[in-house]
């Protein structure tokens, strides 16, 4: 069974526990600015919307990479950046229609959601069930 992140903005309170968990999982520090999931705040509507990579089946970021630094994790379906291979050319950030591949100036490479190898830290951290990890055919 393929699983995917399922996001229900109606349940999001904007607490940013997901951003903290994501940054800690990948960098060992609590640092929302390094998070691969972002909560957007539509202030005047009172809506908070967590947003991250959809792991497109036909992933343009992966196709566009000139050095094949983005690869499919067959176990999870995640498109994963191989940091050792990435040269920081940013073509993938342009190719992505959703803006969820981001260039990190301090390390000169891109980063994106990798589903934490099948146990996404954001979903575990979410206190309200706004972010869940479940059967991709959920409907």
Partner 1 sequence: MSWNRKLLRVNLSAGTCTPEALNMKWADEYLGSRGLGTKYLCEEIDPKVDPLSPENKLIMATGPLTGTMASTGGRYTVITKGPLTGAIACSNSGGFFGAELKFAGWDMIIVEGKSPKPVYLYIENDKAELRDAAHLWGTTCWHTEETIKADLQDPLVRVSSIGRSGENQVLFSCIVNDLHRAAGRSGVGAVMGSKNLKAVAIRGTKGVSGVKDFPAFLAATQAAKQVLKDNAVTGQGLPTYGTQVLMNVINEVGALPTRNHRDVQFEDAGKISAEAMHEKRPTDGKAHLVTNAACFGCTIACGRISQLDKGHFTVENKPQYWGASGGLEYESAWSLGASNGVGDLEALQYANMLCNEDGFDPITFGATVSAVMELYEMGVLTKEQIGIEAPFGSAKALAFLAEITARGEGFGKEVGLGSKRLCAKYGHPDLSMSVKGLEFPAYDSRGIQGIGLNYATSNRGACHVRGYTVASEVLGIPVKTDPLATEGKPGLVKAFQDATSVFDAAGICLFTSFAWTLADIQPQLQAACEGDWSMEKLNLVGERIWNMERQFNLAAGFTSKDDNLPPRLLNEAAKTGPAKGLVSGLKKMLPEYYEARGWTPEGVPTAETLSRLGL
Q: Which parts of this chain interact with partner 1 (CB under 8 A)?
A: 13-17, 20-21, 23-24, 27-34, 43-48, 125, 127-128
Nearest distance in Å: CB 17, partner 1: 6
Nearest distance in Å: CB 22, partner 1: 11
- How far, in Å, CA of 18 to CA of 24, rounded? 10
For the chain, the farthest-separated pair of C-alpha atoms sits apart, in whole angstroms, at: 43
Nearest distance in Å: CB 128, partner 1: 7
Q: Which is nearer to partner 1, 40 or 98 (CB)?
A: 40
Q: Which is nearer to partner 1, 75 or 127 (CB)?
A: 127
Which residues are paired to 26 by β-bridges? none
Element at 86 (helix H, strand E) = none
Q: Which is nearer to partner 1, 27 or 132 (CB)?
A: 27
Nearest distance in Å: CB 31, partner 1: 2
Q: Which is nearer to partner 1, 44 or 138 (CB)?
A: 44
Q: Which of 116, 86, 119, 85 is nearest to 103 (CA)?
A: 86
Residue 27 phi, psi (nearest 5): -125, -10
Record the tokens describing residue 139, joined without a space.
């409907």
């Amino acid at each position: 069974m393929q699983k995917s992140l399922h996001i229900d903005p109606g349940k999001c309170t904007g607490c940013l526990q997901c951003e903290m968990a994501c940054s800690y999982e990948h960098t060992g520090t609590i640092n929302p600015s390094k998070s691969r999931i972002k909560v957007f705040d539509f202030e005047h509507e009172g809506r908070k919307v967590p947003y991250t990579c959809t792991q497109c089946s036909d992933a343009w970021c992966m196709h566009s990479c000139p050095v094949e630094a983005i690869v499919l994790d067959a176990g999870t379906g995640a498109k994963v950046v191989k940091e050792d291979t990435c040269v920081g050319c940013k073509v993938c950030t342009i190719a992505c229609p959703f803006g969820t591949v981001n260039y990190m100036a301090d390390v000169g490479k891109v980063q994106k959601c990798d589903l934490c190898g099948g146990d996404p830290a954001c979903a575990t951290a979410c206190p309200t069930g706004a972010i869940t990890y479940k059967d991709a055919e959920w409907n």
